[in-house]
Chains A and B, each alone.
Chain A
Amino acid sequence: METVQTLKQLCETQCIYNNSNMLITLVRNLLKPFCNEIRILNDGSVFGVKRGKNNTRKIMVDAHMDEIGLMISEIDKKGFLHFVPVGGVDLKTLPASVVDVFGRENIKGVIGIKPPHLQNKDEAKQPFKWDDLTIDIGYTKEDAEKIVSVGDYACACGEFTKLSESEYSSKSMDNRAGMCVLLKTAEKLAKLNIDADIYYVFSCGEEFNMSGANIAANVIKPDICITVDVTHGVTADNSERAYKCGDGPSYSIGPNISKKLVKIIQNVAKDENISIHPEVDGGSSGTNAWAIQVCNEGVATAVLSIPLKYMHTQVETLDINDIESVIRLLIGFLQKASVM
């Protein structure tokens, strides 16, 4: 399957926190042909292992599977659903959005707002609060309760859309982009003979507390772990702490990252003519690497990130060429890291 098709399929399947049944099934089916064994951990995280020809060491490649979303907190007397955020949801993107609600069936709803006619003059200038918004699914309370329960998840719809040329927009590119990299890497590596055992980990809970990555690293006990996630893309209103989409991925540098692994990444990029850009953090890299680095007796960690515009909105946008660049870089990295 082409990279874009894989990415689209991933984006169209939901997984909030650890509510991952549909996505686990998809990942397992896509990963199976390329791994010796697939395992699902108790928290819902999934990993597949491709044993190396000399099992020199264990290298974990990690991409988080979960996305931000909403959780239903109440069904009110008019049948409207009140909700709370799961992960860093930006409230500003919710008004007038169509949402998917994952109850006993999957249904659609709207987060509607008061018509302008009924607002007083200053209201339009005020930001919304979480209590102001509800999901309208078009049912009475009695009928709503047959389909939806408190605790069910929901997420804003963001149909996978091709923009011009190489840019694509969808909800949950954070971090289906990373997952896509892992799946395509697994596919390509299956044909090569690598020395180390490679563990492809799709972890839950990153948007919450990085619990999945923690659990996986404790189970696998890798020597090295490279995390693939997203970073901020340059937008019309911001070019600081951001990277241009289509210009190649960023790689992290700082106390959370192994200096040795950074050198490997830089060398591979040079050899393969891949454009990469340093992303510096004085503490946490803001990814699963922060949790993984201190697992067991320690793990050498590295991070590669795909530039993503409008992160945590329904229209997260990236350039497909950046995903292809990370795949090439990752394969080169895994080959070198197997024998260093």
Chain B
Amino acid sequence: MFLKELCEISGASGDEERVADFIIDKIKPYVDDVKVDIMGNVVAYIKGQSPEKKVMIAAHMDEVGFIISFITDDGYLKFKLVGGYDERILPGKRVIVGENKTAGVIGLKAIHLQNKEERNSVADESKLVIDIGAKSKFEAERFVKIGDYATFNDIYTEIGDERILAKALDDRIGCDIMVFLAQEKYFYDTYLCFTVQEEIGTRGAQIVSERIKPDIAVVLECTICSDVSGAPPNMEVTTLGGGAVLSILDRGSYSDVELTKKLYKLAEDKNISVQYKRTNFGGNDAREIQVAGNGVKTAAVSVPCRYLHSPAGIVNKKDYYSARNLVSEFLKNVREFI
């Protein structure tokens, strides 16, 4: 498991190279070929016993983050968001900026200095800046430049009962599972696709699936888990510790019914914990993959994650292993699926 190392790499949408390098280094000894395309998608090819069908497994390498848009005269960095997340989480967070991994903080005007209106409203996102401790633009430019990417910087740690707390679990979890899957051989030609720019509109998956035109695809993701305090059962979506998640439909795709049912049965047969995603929200690379070529039988297998798109997501290790085992069994028994 390389999850800790993967989560700690900075790789916002459009800046995935370091994540790609790490992954390539780990899978190269096992797979038959690795290609990196023009956008940065990494595709590992595992030659099967039969070239009759093409199987695609996909996970995205990018995470939500920031891009530096301007440096003020006083050395503060203004930024734009990369990917969608709740802007109310920004004040008080630590970030890492650019190639030099410069430490920065997103501060907030002290509460003592806020007037009544400011105290009772959301912080104005356009006024937030990243502070890297520089006293002038000149000093700041020794370390960072406009166009540098930044990501949250928080610790990877284990908490509670078998849980992992980290940033970028979405979707380094999927990437880590695929690095594991790279170690085996399978019946059909298998393409492990580490995609880019999922968070800004599933962009990488678009070109990858067009090039490969698979017959069947499984997307490995992190998905909404809201079984938290105050959430009524019908808003929980998934349960932490409840097993690998099978999507039925979301905002961009619907999972192939037969494929999903078969995956569920496979899980039951192999004693793998499994649950359905109980909502129609969200979206992932399946949206693009499903419509590639003549259409692809697509399903999504996910790991429930609380607090997606924040510096501190929580997953349950058991669910990670359930998802990994399920997709592994799928690949080992792929002839029964197509």
Contact = CB atoms under 8 A, between A and B. Distances in A.
Interface residues of A, number: 71
B308 A115 contact: yes
Contacts of B142: 164
Given A92-B123, A163-B105, A312 B112 contact: yes
A313 B91 contact: yes
Contacts of A98: 154-155, 165, 311-312
A232 to B, nearest CB: 6
B311 A96 contact: yes
A282 interface: no
B106 interface: yes
A89 B161 CA distance: 29
B106 A165 contact: no
Contact of B160 (A114, A128, A138): A138
B307 A112 contact: yes
B277 to A, nearest CB: 11
A246 B139 CA distance: 14
A97 interface: yes
Nearest to A88: B111
Most chain B beta carbons < 10 A, residue from A113, A128, A138, A314: A138
A134 B227 CA distance: 13
A97 B167 CA distance: 11
A137 B159 contact: yes
A238 interface: yes
A209 interface: no
A85 B105 CA distance: 23
B295 interface: no
A115 B309 contact: yes
B154 A118 contact: no
Contacts of A165: 133-135, 139
B100 to A, nearest CB: 10
Interface string B96-109: 00000011111111
B279 A317 contact: no
Interface centre among B89, B127, B160, B237 (most CB of A within 10 A): B160
Interface string B158-170: 0111010100000
Interface stretch (A103-111, A273-281, A298-306): A103-111
Contact of B94 (A90, A107, A169): A169
Contact of B107 (A112, A124, A309): A309
Interface in B92-138: 92-94, 102-114, 120-123, 127, 129, 131-135
B109 A237 contact: yes
B139 A164 contact: yes
A134 B231 CA distance: 12
B133 A232 contact: no
A143 interface: yes
B312 A236 contact: no
Interface of A: 76, 78, 80, 82, 88-90, 92-98, 107-110, 112-119, 124-128, 132, 134, 136-140, 143, 156-159, 161-169, 232, 235-238, 240-242, 245-246, 286, 309-315, 317
Given A311-B112, A313-B91, 17 more contacts: A90-B110, A92-B92, A92-B123, A94-B92, A97-B92, A98-B155, A110-B306, A113-B307, A136-B306, A138-B161, A139-B160, A158-B94, A163-B134, A246-B135, A309-B107, A310-B109, A315-B93
